[in-house]
Structure 1
Amino acid sequence: MPAPTALLRKPQELADAANIPLPTQDQDDELLLDAPSEMPTEADTVQPVEGDTEMHIDEEGRPRFAPAKQAQSDFRVETRKVPIPPHRVAPIRAAWPKIYPPLVEHLKLQVRMNVKSKSVELRNHKQTTDPGALQKGEDFVKAFSLGFDVDDAIALLRLDDLYIETFEIKDVKTLQGEHLGRAIGRIAGKDGKTKFAIENASRTRVVLADSKIHILGGFKNIHIAREAIVSLILGSPPGKVYGNLRTVASRMKERF
């Protein structure tokens, strides 16, 4: 099959057919541009102007952009509802003048106590600056509902490395009847002396709520208190637990 005639034509013939003049050798030389002998200095580069979205290149070839403007994000209202156990409704009513000021003044939250549903409702608004204020407020109210004092629960608002750990006696050992009562008695001690000794040695706060145990403190401190309580549940004599707590307390003083 013969090739098309247009493909066999020379460039001059194609140019004559289209009436397009071809550049000569002299015109080609004129079109060539000489490379600049000097590199542009920093003063010659274009500085970014605020509000300018065009990209500029500096003397090292790096892109230089204008500073980004802070876009106002849409405000979003979030609410939290903390249920209060029936046996803690009366204490929270009595301590309400001490509970709401940290939430309103420190965390800038809106708070109310719903007597009908027996819960505390929290809500953020435009004046709330801390993004984690809602979670801190919920932890604070929940700590009080578990049985901690208001002064101890306020520490959750001021410190970031405090936690609450909850476990039951049956998680350690299955006890029933009088055996369960004796285990609770070993943890509390006479007039609460054993519990206070554990709190002072481990720098934590312990709440005994029937067969549930709540511990408030740092991560390592909670571990120390939990080990002492587990030893008492398993039947270790209080004297041996006191000796271990003295050793741990002396080590903690040396660290600090």
Structure 2
Amino acid sequence: MTAADVQDSSMDMMMDNLPQTVDPTTLTSRIIQSDSIQREDRTNDSDNDADDMQMDGVDQPTFQKLSAHAARGGKAEYRRIRCPAHRYTPLRENWEQLLTPLVEYLKLQVRFNTRTRSVEMKTSRHTLDTSSLQKGADFIGAFMVGFEPQDAVALLRLDDLYIESFKVTDVKILRGDHLSRAIGRVAGQDGKTRFAIENATRTRIVVADSRIHLLGSYGNIRLARNAICDLILGAPPGKVYNNMRNVAKRMNERY
């Protein structure tokens, strides 16, 4: 018998030992482990099952959510937002609209200090959320830079809204009439350019002298900022309108 015949006979014996057909109803794992690993895994599984059985018979403790007042150890937190001179009259006229969400929704104590001309907020034992004070400060801060209360209140309801501020001179160094013309290009005739950018990017824009404030989500602020920077750098408004039209079309398709 030759070596080839011996090899053929051994292969035939191995093939005989293998199953001729695979049962599709039988699921087998493709992970092959040594005996020692399998014994160790079985031991760990039995220990975990025993721990689970012991924990099932014990009542699990339930803890109530800590209020903002209790989380600080009973100490109150304060915030003070100074009111600019040009926002004093709008603050007085819209005081009730600003006070309602702060007191009823965030459960904060609010007052206006006439001596320092600033809005002061404080947490109390009724304040539930630890982030209420920061949300309230952002809400009042948005109103102080020029946003309407209806727009600023979105900061209390949505967590993915931000405010970004920059100056026209941060984009390009301009002085005198050149600066005035750049601001005029951003605003447009009767605010048409600003409204077009707001509607296309779903943001809110405030042009306060040479400062520009944007309110919206991160991606939308980026789109609006790029359009405003193009206007400051001297791009024709018609080209910006065309870009905003394309942006609005893409956003409508996305949402």
In structure 1, list runs of 5 or more residues that go unmatched: 1-56
Greater RCO, CA 8 A, separation 6+: 2
Secondary structure of 1:136's aligned partner: helix
**Does the alignment pair 1:135 with 2:134?**
yes
For the residues of structure 1 that align with 2:105 and 2:175, how far apart are their CA atoms? 45
**Does the alignment pair 1:60 with 2:59?**
no
- After TM superposition, the score normalised by the length of structure 2 is 0.75
- Letter paired with 1:142: G
For the residues of structure 2 that align with 1:58 and 1:172, how far apart are their CA atoms? 62
For the residues of structure 1 that align with 2:167 and 2:132, how far apart are their CA atoms? 30
For the residues of structure 2 that align with 1:214 and 1:245, how far apart are their CA atoms? 19
Change in CA separation of 1:94 and 1:58 when aligned onto 2, cut-off 3 Å:
same
**Does the alignment pair 1:212 with 2:211?**
yes
What is residue 15 of structure 2 aligned with on the other side? none
Change in CA separation of 1:177 and 1:124 when aligned onto 2, cut-off 3 Å:
same
1:229-248 correspondence runs (5 A): 229-248=228-247
Q: How many residues align?
A: 200
For the residues of structure 2 that align with 1:154 and 1:221, how far apart are their CA atoms? 18
Give the superposed CA RMSD.
1.7
For the residues of structure 2 that align with 1:201 and 1:141, how far apart are their CA atoms? 26
Secondary structure of 1:117's aligned partner: coil
Query: Following TM superposition, where does structure 1 have runs of at least 4 consecutive aligned residues deviating by more than 2 angstroms?
Result: 57-76
For the residues of structure 1 that align with 2:110 and 2:232, how far apart are their CA atoms? 40
- Letter paired with 2:170: D
For the residues of structure 1 that align with 2:236 and 2:107, how far apart are their CA atoms? 48
In structure 2, list runs of 5 or more residues that go unmatched: 1-46
Percent identity among equivalent residues?
A: 54
What is residue 227 of structure 2 aligned with on the other side? 228
Instruction: Give, in angstroms, the shift of residue 134 of structure 1.
Output: 0.5
Secondary structure of 2:50's aligned partner: coil
Secondary structure of 1:144's aligned partner: helix
**Does the alignment pair 1:92 with 2:91?**
yes
Q: Which moved more, 1:59-68 or 1:193-202?
A: 59-68
Q: Which structure's CA Rg is the greater one? A: 1
Deviations 1:13-63 (A, max 9, x none): xxxxxxxxxxxxxxxxxxxxxxxxxxxxxxxxxxxxxxxxxxxx8753567
For the residues of structure 1 that align with 2:196 and 2:62, how far apart are their CA atoms? 56
Deviations 1:207-235 (A, max 9, x none): 00110000001111100100000000000
Deviations 1:120-154 (A, max 9, x none): 00111111111111011000000000000010011
Structure 1 or 2: more helix by fraction: 2
Deviations 1:85-118 (A, max 9, x none): 1111111011101110110001110000111101
1:1-256 correspondence runs (5 A): 60=50, 64=55, 67-68=60-61, 70=63, 73=70, 74-256=73-255
